[in-house]
Amino acid sequence: MSLSRIAKRRIALVSVYAILCSAIAWQLTYYVPKFLGRDPSDAVEQILVTVSGNVLHPGQYKVPAGTTHFEILKVAGVKPTSDISSFLLTQQITDNQQLQVGTMPNPVTMKPGSDKIRCEFFLGDVSVIAADGHTKPKEDGLEITQGDRLLTEEKSQTELSVSTFSRIDVDNFSELLFDKISVQENNRSTTWLTQKSGTCWYKIVYGSKGELFRVTTPLAIVTVAGTGADFTITNKSDEITIDNMDGLLLIERTGSSEAINLISGQSATIFNDNRPFQVTSLGNEGNPSERFSSLTKEKANVIMRHMPLNFVFCGVPGVYCFGSVDFERGVVSIINLRPETSVEEYVQGCTTIDQAFLYGGGIFVTTLMEQITGTRIPKFFVLEKEDIIRIAGSIGGLKLSVDDKAASLMGLAKGPQKLTSHQLAAYLRPSLSGTEDFRSRQNNVLKAVFDGLTSKNIVMTSLLAEQIFTNIHTNFSAKEVMDEYTKFTNVQSWTFRQNAMPVKQNVRGGKIVFDPDIEAYKKLNQQ
């Protein structure tokens, strides 16, 4: 399965099960040989484990001592209906252990979530005023909440994102009120705005039949029908003009029974003196692209030069991170999520981040990370221990600080050491001194890679990028890596920040769960 196909399927969660199965199959072909035989770089005791029940590949496996439940279930292949809730995935397997995987009545699915509206790009003086009267701080990605009011001044524009696919461009001297955002009414998720003045360009795409989008103006109510519409609304002192470039609109006069359906290529004018609707064919002047050309250029400029590079890093079995590279401020931020972090708020049938990886790999974890952080995350990559060892070999070893336990067990001096591929294999063995130490060491390796890049001890070339990323499960291409590396090296000074996702420890169903503390995360993210 190509990366481009996986990236496309990322948009449609209804296809997640095909992705799950293919991801598991891909992982199986790569890792089964390492479990069936002794890895020459990992000369440790071999033990037997039997996996039975609802998995893709039940049977008996011979694995290195220290192998976790997570690792063996990954090899056996988790199905969308596999019940793995009884397993402590970080626990290590004992010799001759029997693992029985049950079956859930329903497959793992994403829970329907409320759509969000965000200010993605600003040009000029734009204000968002909350219902209580305070003005929200202006920032890209600012979330609009129900009751907010948006105002644009002279020579000002902004673009709003509405759910996954829809957009609204707001011209200067415009005012929008957000009356309802994803409110359930008559079994439909209703979003209802009031456009009091100015010109707005609406590009609305329904993701399901259960969505409804409406705009109230001083003279008419506009409802998006069918599967969506592409239209503009212009408020003047004595009339409202609606230009429909594509789709179907229902237009109803406020306080009257007069209504029409406006189809693609038509323009309607509603007058304040109660004259009948005036419907004409849409001319070339109806194209709003020129009106919003400055905003479009600013958007492209922000995306290309200023937007942080957001990504998810999965260092399986135990490390899950949300990373953001801010080229403008010279800051790399890493938020570590413990594998037991609860995702029950966002998904049905799956309770933790590490379970989510078994069900859907990096692409599924990325979906959940977006929900938790409230941030668009376009890129992900998954590194196994073998990938790290191979990369270390490609760059001639990796310099990092070896902790006391690892140094004692590996026969090395503690402190800064340049580890070879063989030494990294031992350093990253979960059985070396326990799961917690293993996670810490994976984070140390990530920090060491960053230090190597910033100090220019690791110099990325096109050939090296190709070697490193060819076999890694990621939607980064080698060319994209080189483009980002060029931007990275153009910044003179970098700061590395690493924090843990704040959690609230709760008890549900007799089990301790670690729910993400979103408010604490927001405060942490603002520092």
Residue 92 vs residues 130, 153, 354, 469: alpha-carbon distances, Å: 51, 61, 15, 30
Co-location of 277 and 336 in the same domain: no
Summarize pLDDT for 416-448 with one digit per residue, the tens: 888 887 788 788 776 677 777 877 887 787 777
The values of phi and psi at residue 279, to 5°, are: -110, 130
Q: How many domains does the chain have?
A: 3
Of 153 and 65, more confident: 153
Co-location of 233 and 376 in the same domain: no
Phi-psi region of 186 (alpha: psi -120 to 50; beta: other; left: phi over 0): left
Residue 51 near residue 70 (C-beta atoms within 8 A): no
Query: Which residue from 201, 182, 195 is spatially nearest to 144, judged by alpha carbons?
Result: 182
Co-location of 345 and 400 in the same domain: yes
- Secondary-structure percent of the chain, ordered helix, strand, coil, rounded to 5: 30, 40, 35
Co-location of 126 and 25 in the same domain: no
Peptide bond into 317 cis (omega under 30): yes
Residue 76 near residue 61 (C-beta atoms within 8 A): yes
Alpha-carbon distance of 233 to 256, in angstroms, equals: 20
Summarize pLDDT for 246-298 with one digit per residue, the tens: 899 999 999 888 999 999 999 999 999 989 999 999 876 556 777 777 666 66
Residue 399 lies in a domain: yes
Co-location of 99 and 121 in the same domain: no
Place of tokens 């790399």: 332
Co-location of 329 and 426 in the same domain: yes
Co-location of 401 and 335 in the same domain: yes
| CATH number of domain containing 514 | 3.40.630.190
Summarize pLDDT for 382-427 with one digit per residue, the tens: 877 777 777 777 777 788 888 888 888 888 888 888 888 778 878 8
| CATH number of domain containing 272 | 2.60.120.1440
Give residues with Cβ within 8 angstroms of 203, minimum separation 6. 166, 167, 168, 169, 230
Co-location of 434 and 515 in the same domain: yes
Summarize pLDDT for 34-83 with one digit per residue, the tens: 443 334 344 568 899 999 999 999 999 998 888 889 989 999 999 999 99
pLDDT of 20? 36
Domain end point (choices 291, 326, 357): 291
Domain end point (choices 107, 126, 146): 107
pLDDT of 4? 43
How large is the average pLDDT for residues 115-123?
81
pLDDT of 38? 37
32-36, 352-356, 374-378, 428-432, range with greatest mean pLDDT: 352-356
Residue 326 lies in a domain: yes
Element (H, E) at 443: helix 435-454
Residue 297 lies in a domain: no
| Burial category of 313 from C-beta neighbours within 10 Å (exposed 0-12, middle 13-18, buried 19 and up) | buried
Residue 65 lies in a domain: yes
pLDDT of 286? 56
Question: Of the ranges 169-183, 219-233, 466-480, 503-517, which one carries the lowest mean pLDDT score?
Answer: 466-480
- For residues 465, 467, 470, 473, the Cα torsion angle rounded to the nearest 10 degrees is -70
User: pTM of the prediction?
Assistant: 0.59
Co-location of 51 and 172 in the same domain: no
Domain end point (choices 237, 260, 291): 291
Co-location of 155 and 280 in the same domain: yes
DSSP structure class, residue 354: H
Sheet strands (E) in 96-174: 97-103, 109-110, 117-123, 126-129, 142-144, 149-152, 157-162, 166-170
pLDDT of 212? 93
Residue 112 lies in a domain: no
Residue 296 lies in a domain: no
Summarize pLDDT for 175-230 with one digit per residue, the tens: 999 999 988 888 888 999 999 999 999 999 886 778 899 999 999 999 999 888 99
Alpha-carbon distance of 221 to 224, in angstroms, equals: 10
pLDDT of 6? 39
Place of tokens 């293993």: 438
Residues spanned by the domain of 238: 117-291
Residue 127: pLDDT over 60: yes
| % of the chain surpassing 90 pLDDT | 32
Co-location of 333 and 477 in the same domain: yes
Co-location of 185 and 315 in the same domain: no
Q: Could you count the other beta carbons within 10 Å of the beta carbon of residue 200?
A: 25
In terms of DSSP H, where are the helices of 10-51? Answer: 16-36
Residue 236: pLDDT over 70: yes
